Amino acid sequence: MYSCKQNYINGQWVDSEGGRAFQSINPATEEACTDVILGTKADVEKAVAAARAAFDANYGMSKDDRLAMLQRIAGEYQKRIPDIAKAISTEMGCPISLSSTAQAGSGMGHFGAAIEAYKGFELVEQVGKNKVLLEPIGVVALITPWNWPMNQICAKVAPALAAGNAVILKPSEETPTSAQIFAEILDAAGVSAGLFNLIQGDGPEVGEALAAHDDIDMVSFTGSTRAGVLVAKAAADSVKRVHQELGGKSPAIVLEGTPLDVALPGVLGGLMMNSGQSCVAPTRILVHESQHDEALKTIAGVMNAKKVGDPMQEGDHIGPVVNRSQFEKIQGLIQDGIDSGATLACGGTGRPDGIEKGFFVKPTCFGNVSNDMRIAREEIFGPVVVVIPYKDDEEAIRIANDTPYGLGAYIAGNPEHANKFVPRLRAGTVYVNSGGLDFNCPFGGYKKSGNGREFGKFGLEEFMEKKSVVGG
């Protein structure tokens, strides 16, 4: 049993003031795995005071000293990757093979990208006879999700600290232990007291208090669109900057005539990785109507062959979804797809055969889906994909853009043909015969997928203010 009963404020592990007990549940066993004390507004007040004092005290830190700090953090992080991976697999069900690589490894990737970006980052730009300064915003609240906990923590903390800010992290209460380990890493790296603070807590109490606080200058939030709207509303009265990376319903367009046995396995790999719990996952596959039935057979073959099992065992299987609420939501959407008349090509409701407990979902595919069905419009956040036929390129583009989201879009097929689609797709990232992230390229969304960008030099810029100096 893990224990996350204290917050990390001003360089010290301290008890919460009035916090309440909570237990994180192992989604594979449905048993408690972590005891947590969820923080309060009083804890937020302490963290904000500590962060404000640390920001002022460290404002003049040199670029070389900031680089050294980031490098120390990366060195300590490397030592704790096995611990981080085990915590992620235990608390959110990601298979240990993926937790040890993509999940925990993403933290190293983001610190490496931030270090390289900061080395070449110009803090002063000459504009004619005048100049523009890039300066830290101040105290920044970082609110992160459970599905890729270290990816999102490090994608925010690394550039925020590099830019010269003091930060307060509120991780998801579903995955508190990896965040606690991260705080231990920064403590071991000798980060100045108050520059980094951690409060364990939930959204309604701690998240809202952070967003609304007058002495917090920016909120960077990753999570659902519903929660992002609440954060923005809470922050509105203080007119602080709100940076959001929210939900997605990404289309994957398979160009007419593209061999399906080449295109679809990669798309499905991106979908099923992390049990479908990725905001940028390609959850709507658009295929030409002449290839629709063949696509269903190919997808069913791939998804039926994907094993589902114990996240603590090595392998390329998928694990459970994060909790009972998410499991029940997915089951309801699968049933809605059946009831709406879509073709169930594989999977369906209930747990996979032979599994009696845990929040495991059958890899599921629906065909003959129209884009107005719930399963085509709502973010399912599980290993569920829909196949939508299209008649021609124009209809494919229309369907791809017919969504409230705009985080990612995928195109499979001839590159010359695919690149004609790129400027017409309303998405923050377009993957052409690819699916991997580049930690040096900007990541973020259009429409209800959020605003602002993360990663590399673009993430650095988000955590800075621009000041014009005219004359002088």
Residue 379's domain comprises 250-432
Residues 418 and 455 in one domain: no
Looking at residue 436, its pLDDT comes to 86
Residues 427 and 465 in one domain: no
Q: Look up 328 and say whether it is catalytic.
A: no
- CA dist 323 → 4, 292, 314, 350 (Å): 19, 33, 21, 15
CATH number at 408 reads: 3.40.309.10
Residue whose C-alpha is closest to residue 248's, from 445, 452, 453? 445
> Residues 91, 245, 379, 454: which is the catalytic one?
245
**Greater confidence, 310 or 435?**
310
Residues 65 and 157 in one domain: yes
Residues 325 and 462 in one domain: no
Residues 197 and 297 in one domain: no
Looking at residue 435, its pLDDT comes to 85
Asked if residue 235 lies in contact with residue 157, where contact means CB atoms within 8 angstroms, the answer is no
For residue 124, count CB atoms less than 10 angstroms from its CB and return exposed for 0-12, middle for 13-18, buried for 19 or more.
Answer: exposed
- H or E element at residue 410: strand 408-412
pLDDT at 452 over 80: yes
> Residues 154, 279, 346, 365: which is the catalytic one?
279
pLDDT of 353-409, one tens digit each? 999 999 999 999 999 999 999 999 999 999 999 999 999 999 999 999 999 999 999
Domain count, the chain: 2
pTM over 0.85: yes
Q: CA-CA distance, 438 to 461, in Å (whole number)?
A: 17
Residue whose C-alpha is closest to residue 435's, from 413, 410, 418? 410
Residues 178 and 276 in one domain: no
pLDDT of 31-55, one tens digit each? 999 999 999 999 999 999 999 999 9
Residues 237 and 384 in one domain: no
Residue whose C-alpha is closest to residue 25's, from 59, 50, 1? 1
- The answer to whether residue 440 sits within a structural domain is no
Q: CA-CA distance, 341 to 352, in Å (whole number)?
A: 22
High-pLDDT (> 70) share of the chain, %: 100
Looking at residue 270, its pLDDT comes to 95
Residues 239 and 370 in one domain: no
Asked if residue 262 lies in contact with residue 302, where contact means CB atoms within 8 angstroms, the answer is no
Looking at residue 172, its pLDDT comes to 98
Looking at residue 19, its pLDDT comes to 98
Give the DSSP letter string of 85-147.
Answer: HHHHHHHH---HHHIIIIIHHHHHHHHHHHHHHHHT--SEEEETTEEEEEEE-SEEEEE--SS
Q: Look up 122 and say whether it is catalytic.
A: no
- The answer to whether residue 442 sits within a structural domain is no
- What does pLDDT average to over the chain? 97
Neighbouring CB atoms inside 10 A of 83's CB total 15
Residues 159 and 15 in one domain: yes
CA-based R_g, the chain, Å:
22
pLDDT at 168 over 80: yes
Give the DSSP letter string of 180-221.
Answer: HHHHHHHHHTTPPBTTEEE----IIIIIHHHHH-TT--EEEE
